[in-house]
């Protein structure tokens, strides 16, 4: 039994807010933190936590206590087990003279002993074939195999009895730990013939085992230990015990699906990676992550199920205030397959080019829609509208603008038109824009010059970049390469392609072409100057320092003179 001094030290060292936020989403309310009570059905936050005094109280059901009693209630543990868990959370070592053997200790010790035996077998004759598989097919190094304590349960029905005698555990302890089954009075190894992967909790204790089938194993390809009071898949993140330091230092976490995905990413040099053990990402997972970072990079499987899991995870994580990106890749079914086929460099490139969640949302919806037609574009915009308005209503303007930009790039509609459509403004005009991809008069004139006078192409592209282009926006990178109509038609949507084809047939005299380009350059220049003047006017209004205000006024005068000269130059060009 622990003495009072040690228990009080545990209470002092535990950050009760960080502990409870593993289970409850809390918001600041004066000197307290408040949330929905986890101990009764609560719709109006009645659960309060005092960071300074280290206690919680619910005004709805009356539950109250300190960090240790909270763990007791939420995890259904004994007092002694709750003290051990609270001490682990606070990184406090249990003094030798207070060490006791709780049910939790027996459970984790049993799994630790069994995992050690499985790991040893991997390096013996029985495990040689499996070790070769891990080294050659999975591309894991001996160092990584040892770090994750990968093992092998041989295809031998008597081996479970050897474990029992070698490590000194009882039959009942093996069954309670989920290692063995009692089948008609016989002790059966649950994981016979499987590659073994220990599953550690955040504190570094083994709380479950994972087994990957080999050619001789029966049943599902992957199985885990049965859930117990100490192991619940919705709560445990694989590799968090090793990854949490890197997650804190890098301020983001990479989340994969299975343990071999995690180990492959770790082998590729990605240390801030965890896995969800084949289940969905849950709010409990996210509450644990929230104490380490608010930034998530999802690296799920590349198939339809993986894409859908990414969307579900985005929707859940965004509600909890996370910023999310998604690794997008093809040519491999999962991160492990990708690492084995293309190596660490490909992994790092995919992580570098991960899509922000708003952009991924657009591409996810777009994948089954033909956006080469106006009707297809309209469908995409309408399907993504709910997500866009959710961002806006939540005050997340950065994500809203990112989504609008991605939608604009993929449809060719201007960002302003899309924003107006979502606001319900000028609906008839915008609905018409959905039906047909029409070039603006300015775009039409510039593309006539582009096709008829190739010598002006660089200036045409520059003018398009500085103008508010819509339909041509996606083609600008191709126009920079001075592509001819034949190549552009391969990329452009049908309606736009037909229009470009007509324009490519026009012939314009070189002098007329020069005047068109100069006229557009003048108009664009004037527009940019006006934007700068408007920005200076905004700064003048809020400036309090006299010297800064005077310097802004001088700059405004200079820009006004430049604007007049630009207009005069435009008149000289025949306007």
Give domain status of residue 231, yes or no.
no
Provide the β-strand partners of residue 152. Answer: 195
Domain match, 116 and 218 both: yes
Last residue of a domain, one of 508, 531, 557: 508
Domain match, 217 and 110 both: yes
Which residue would you say has higher pLDDT here, 349 or 529? 349
**Within a 13 Å sphere around the CA of 397, how many CA atoms are in the beta-carbon half?**
1
Provide the β-strand partners of residue 68. Answer: none
**For position 194, what pLDDT does the model report?**
94
Q: What is the pTM of this model?
A: 0.68
How is residue 16 written in tokens?
């009760």
Q: Which of 46, 178, 19 is nearest to 107 (CA)?
A: 178
Which residue would you say has higher pLDDT here, 115 or 535? 115
Domain match, 140 and 207 both: yes
Provide the β-strand partners of residue 49. Answer: 33, 56
Give domain status of residue 229, yes or no.
no
CATH of the domain at 348: 3.40.1360.10
How is residue 115 written in tokens?
């995992």
Domain match, 272 and 206 both: no
- Of 136-150, 260-274, 504-518, 555-569, least confident by mean pLDDT is 555-569
Give domain status of residue 383, yes or no.
yes
> How many structural domains are present in the chain?
6
Angle between helices 304-319 and 357-366 (to 10 degrees): 140
The percentage of residues in the chain with a pLDDT greater than 70, rounded to a whole number, is 91
The percentage of residues in the chain with a pLDDT greater than 90, rounded to a whole number, is 50
Q: Which residues contact 508 (CB under 8 A, 6 or more apart)?
A: 448, 449, 452, 453, 516
- Of 19-33, 58-72, 179-193, 553-567, least confident by mean pLDDT is 553-567
Give domain status of residue 196, yes or no.
yes
Domain match, 268 and 181 both: no
Domain match, 113 and 181 both: yes
Last residue of a domain, one of 65, 97, 129: 97
Which pairing describes strands 64-65 and 32-35: parallel, antiparallel, or unpaired? Answer: unpaired
Last residue of a domain, one of 199, 224, 249: 224
Give domain status of residue 233, yes or no.
no
Local confidence band at 468 (pLDDT 50, 70, 90 cut-offs) = low
Domain match, 422 and 498 both: no
Q: Which of 430, 440, 404 is nearest to 419 (CA)?
A: 404
Give domain status of residue 463, yes or no.
yes
> What does the pLDDT average to over 195-220?
89
Tell me how far apart the alpha carbons of residues 378 and 492 are, in angstroms, rounded to a whole number.
17
Cβ burial, residue 155 (10 Å; 0-12/13-18/19+): middle
CATH of the domain at 194: 3.90.980.10
CA triplet 15, 20, 26: central angle to 5 degrees?
105
Domain match, 34 and 114 both: no
User: Which letter does DSSP use for residue 58 in this model?
Assistant: E
Domain match, 396 and 484 both: no
Q: What are the tens digits of pLDDT across the range 415-434?
A: 888 888 888 764 554 454 44
Domain region containing 264: 240-353
Alpha helices in 397-440 (DSSP H): 397-411, 415-423, 427-435
How is residue 312 written in tokens?
């579900």
Domain match, 90 and 37 both: yes
Q: Which of 115, 109, 301, 106 is nearest to 197 (CA)?
A: 115
Give domain status of residue 334, yes or no.
yes
**Within a 13 Å sphere around the CA of 459, how many CA atoms are in the beta-carbon half?**
17
Domain match, 372 and 461 both: no
Give domain status of residue 337, yes or no.
yes
> What does the pLDDT average to over 368-389?
88
Q: Which residues contact 272 (CB under 8 A, 6 or more apart)?
A: 243, 246, 247, 249, 250, 252, 253, 254
Among left, alpha and beta (phi > 0; psi -120 to 50; other), residue 35 is beta
Domain match, 308 and 387 both: no
Does residue 575 carry a pLDDT above 60?
no
Kindly report the three-state secondary structure assignment for every residue of 205-253.
CEEEEEEEECCCCCCCCEEECCCCCCCCCCCCCECHHHHHHHHHHHCCE
**For position 86, what pLDDT does the model report?**
92
């Amino acid at each position: 039994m622990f003495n009072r001094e040690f228990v009080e030290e545990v209470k002092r060292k535990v950050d009760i807010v960080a502990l409870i936020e593993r289970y409850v989403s809390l918001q600041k309310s004066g000197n307290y933190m408040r949330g929905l009570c986890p101990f009764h059905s609560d719709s109006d936050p009645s659960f309060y936590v005092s960071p300074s005094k280290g206690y919680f109280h619910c005004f709805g059901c009356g539950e109250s206590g300190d960090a240790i009693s909270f763990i007791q209630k939420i995890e259904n543990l004994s007092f002694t087990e709750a003290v051990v868990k609270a001490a682990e959370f606070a990184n406090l070592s249990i003094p030798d003279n207070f060490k006791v053997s709780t049910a939790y200790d027996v459970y984790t010790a049993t799994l630790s002993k069994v995992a050690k035996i499985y790991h040893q077998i991997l390096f013996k004759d029985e495990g040689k074939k499996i070790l070769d598989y891990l080294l050659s097919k999975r591309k894991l190094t001996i160092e990584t195999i040892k770090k994750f304590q990968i093992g092998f349960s041989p295809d031998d029905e008597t081996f479970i009895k050897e474990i029992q005698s070698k490590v000194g555990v009882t039959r009942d302890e093996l069954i309670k730990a989920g290692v063995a089954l009692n089948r008609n009075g016989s002790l059966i190894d649950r994981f016979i013939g499987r590659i073994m992967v220990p599953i550690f909790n955040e504190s570094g204790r083994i709380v479950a085992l994972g087994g990957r089938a080999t050619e001789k194993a029966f049943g599902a390809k992957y199985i885990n230990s049965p859930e117990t009071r100490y192991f619940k898949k919705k709560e445990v993140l694989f590799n968090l015990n090793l990854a949490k330091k890197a997650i804190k230092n890098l301020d983001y976490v990479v989340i994969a699906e299975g343990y071999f995905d995690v180990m492959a990413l770790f082998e590729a040099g990605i240390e801030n990676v965890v896995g969800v053990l084949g289940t969905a990402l849950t709010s409990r997972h996210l509450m644990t992550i929230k104490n380490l970072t608010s930034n998530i990079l999802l690296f799920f499987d590349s198939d339809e199920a993986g894409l859908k899991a990414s969307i579900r995870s985005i929707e859940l994580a965004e509600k909890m205030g996370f910023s999310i990106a998604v690794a997008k890749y093809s040519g491999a079914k999962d991160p492990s397959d990708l690492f084995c086929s293309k190596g660490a460099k490909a992994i790092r490139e995919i992580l570098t080019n991960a899509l922000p969640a708003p952009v991924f949302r657009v591409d996810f919806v777009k994948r089954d829609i033909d956006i080469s037609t106006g009707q297809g574009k309209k469908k995409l915009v309408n399907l993504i509208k709910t997500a866009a308005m959710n961002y806006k209503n939540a005050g997340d303007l950065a994500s809203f603008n990112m989504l609008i930009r991605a939608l604009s790039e993929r449809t060719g509609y201007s960002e302003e038109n899309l924003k107006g459509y979502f606001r319900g403004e000028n609906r008839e005009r915008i609905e018409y824009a959905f039906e047909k991809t029409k070039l603006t008069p300015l775009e039409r004139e510039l593309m006539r010059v582009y096709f008829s006078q190739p010598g002006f192409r660089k200036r045409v592209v520059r003018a398009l970049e500085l103008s508010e282009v819509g339909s041509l926006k996606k083609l600008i990178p191709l126009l920079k390469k001075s592509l001819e109509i034949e190549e552009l038609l391969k990329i452009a949507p049908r309606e736009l392609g037909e229009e470009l084809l007509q324009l490519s047939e026009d012939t314009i005299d070189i002098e007329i072409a020069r005047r068109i380009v100069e006229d557009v350059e003048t108009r664009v220049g004037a527009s940019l100057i006006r934007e700068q003047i408007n920005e200076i006017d905004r700064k003048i209004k809020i400036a309090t320092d006299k010297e800064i205000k005077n310097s802004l006024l001088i700059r405004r005068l200079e820009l006004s003179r430049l604007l007049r000269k630009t207009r005069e130059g435009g008149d000289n060009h025949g306007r």
